[in-house]
């Protein structure tokens, strides 16, 4: 079988969760499958790791200025149709093989439309509707995303399969440059992810500042991640507080995470929450929101709080910072829970869906 993969997301240097998923999925498929042939569709020149893939993986660079997936890959499908197509984030080409599988990570634009631009909201709604209607199967990265898809797009139960993200340190690529590690304070709480409103960073900042005043905690708050949609208010808020450090996007997230005393993920909505697995690997306790997919990922290895309640967030953070027995238990449970999430398992389930006869 010839399997085409929309792989440009995996070829991007500054990765967020979706791009990380795309890269790890390709690497895992390359490890488990030497039977099928693959062609990776790229918009730009391939990074080195793509050149090092096994012989059954080829790539094709097909540049195009706009709507690359819907239009340029459609043109490629018209002339060189693979047996199956795997699209790793929502946008199914207008022309595609019958056996097309699309991964949908979350429906943030449906639940928090104010955090997206008008054009982007319309684009995401159309592309998700199109994928849900015309793909052979839809992959949801969590039970929560599957539930949201069923509610918002009326997808039948048997069309959506849940395939959780994984973790595999062997597949983590070292940064391609020799940037020095950032200088970090001795004690700090870490937020890791894109700066945007639905991540509830302003709520975290307020809770942290109150904890500093009320409990006199010695910690700094470190924010690490790229600037997303409507990040300006966040930057304006933290500019007056030297005890809050913004690192920007960090290529080696583990270099920062392993030095943190606590990872806090305060989002109002998440499709999965990969940073929780990173923290489990690094032996760092986790405090996170009790909404959407986060409890599904964290299980009994995290302290939870209501992201809409500053008091509850402060409680969880302070408890996770100061209760030594709790911290030790969270680290131990995190290591155990991490074993449930592997990219090998994710790739095996995904390949089975791609190869299924519908």
Q: Do 154 and 239 belong to one domain? A: no
- Tell me, yes or no, whether 347 and 314 share the same domain: no
Question: Is there a domain that residue 293 lies in?
Answer: yes
- Residue 151 lies inside a defined structural domain of this protein: yes
| Residue span of the structural domain in which 278 resides | 188-338
* Contact by Cβ (8 Å): 104, 149: yes
Q: Based on the domain organization, do 148 and 200 belong to the same domain?
A: no
Task: Please report, for the domain that includes residue 217, its CATH number.
Answer: 3.40.50.2000
The reply to whether 115 and 222 lie within a common domain is: no
Residue 222 lies in a domain: yes
Asked, for residue 308, whether it belongs to a domain, the answer is yes
Is there a single domain that holds both residue 117 and residue 246? no
Specify whether 219 is located in the same domain as 320: yes
Tell me the sheet residues that pair with 104: 140
For residues 15 and 76, state if they share a domain.
yes
Q: Which among 334, 252, 225 is positioned nearest to 286, based on CA atoms?
A: 334
Q: How far apart are CA 263 and CA 349, in angstroms?
A: 30
**Same structural domain, 235 and 326:** yes
Same domain, 66 and 210: no
Phi-psi region of 165 (alpha: psi -120 to 50; beta: other; left: phi over 0): beta
pLDDT at residue number 357: 74
Quick one: pLDDT at residue 288? 97
Q: In the chain, how many domains are there?
A: 2
Would you say residue 183 lies in a domain? Answer: no
Residues 351 and 308 placed together within one structural domain of the fold: no
* Alpha-carbon span 223 to 189, nearest angstrom: 9
> pLDDT tens per residue, the chain (358 residues)?
999 999 999 998 777 888 999 999 999 999 999 999 999 999 999 999 999 999 999 999 999 988 899 899 999 999 999 999 999 987 999 999 999 999 999 998 899 888 788 898 999 999 999 999 999 999 999 999 999 999 999 888 889 999 999 998 877 765 555 567 778 999 999 999 989 888 999 999 999 999 999 999 999 999 999 887 778 888 998 989 999 999 998 888 999 999 999 999 999 999 999 999 999 999 999 999 999 999 999 999 999 999 999 999 999 999 999 999 999 999 999 999 999 999 999 999 999 999 987 6
Q: Which of 87, 46, 295, 281 is nearest to 172 (CA)?
A: 281
Q: In terms of domains, do 333 and 346 share one?
A: no
235 inside domain: yes
Do 154 and 253 reside in the same domain of the chain? Answer: no
Q: Is the pTM of this model over 0.85?
A: yes
Residue at 176 is within a domain: no
pLDDT at 177: 55
Domain assignment present for residue 172? The answer is no
Count Cβ neighbours within 10 Å for each residue of 66-79 and write b for 16 or more, e otherwise: eebbbebbbebbee
């Amino acid at each position: 079988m010839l399997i085409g993969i929309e792989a440009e997301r995996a070829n991007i240097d500054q990765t967020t969760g979706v791009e990380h998923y795309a890269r790890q999925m390709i690497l895992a498929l390359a490890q488990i499958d030497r039977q099928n042939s693959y062609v990776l569709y790229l918009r730009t020149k391939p990074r080195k790791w793509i050149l090092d893939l096994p012989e059954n993986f080829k790539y094709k660079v097909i540049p195009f200025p706009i709507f690359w997936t819907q239009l340029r890959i459609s043109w490629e499908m018209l002339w060189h149709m693979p047996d199956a197509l795997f699209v790793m984030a929502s946008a199914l080409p207008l022309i595609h093989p019958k056996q097309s599988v699309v991964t949908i990570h979350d429906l943030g634009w449906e639940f928090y439309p104010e955090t997206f631009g008008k054009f982007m909201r319309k684009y995401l709604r159309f592309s998700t509707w199109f994928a849900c209607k015309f793909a052979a199967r839809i992959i949801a990265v969590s039970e929560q995303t599957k539930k949201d898809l069923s509610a918002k797009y009326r997808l039948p139960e048997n069309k959506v399969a849940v395939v959780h993200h994984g973790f595999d340190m062997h597949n983590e690529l070292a940064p391609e440059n020799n940037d020095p590690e950032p200088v970090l304070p001795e004690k700090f709480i870490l937020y890791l992810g894109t700066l945007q409103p639905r991540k509830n960073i302003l709520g975290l900042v307020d809770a942290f500042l109150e904890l500093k005043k009320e409990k006199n905690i010695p910690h700094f708050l470190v924010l690490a991640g790229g600037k997303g949609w409507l990040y300006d208010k966040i930057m304006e808020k933290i500019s007056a507080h030297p005890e809050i450090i913004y690192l920007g996007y960090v290529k080696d997230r583990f270099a920062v995470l392993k030095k943190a005393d606590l990872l806090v993920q305060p989002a109002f909505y998440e499709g999965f929450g990969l940073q929780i697995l990173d923290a489990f690997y690094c032996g760092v306790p986790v405090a996170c929101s009790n909404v959407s997919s986060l409890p599904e990922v964290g299980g009994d290895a995290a302290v939870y709080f209501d992201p809409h309640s500053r008091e509850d967030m402060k409680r969880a953070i302070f408890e996770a910072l100061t209760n030594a027995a709790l911290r030790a238990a969270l680290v131990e449970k995190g290591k155990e829970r991490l074993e449930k999430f592997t990219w090998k398992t994710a790739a095996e389930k995904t390949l089975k869906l791609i190869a299924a006869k519908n």
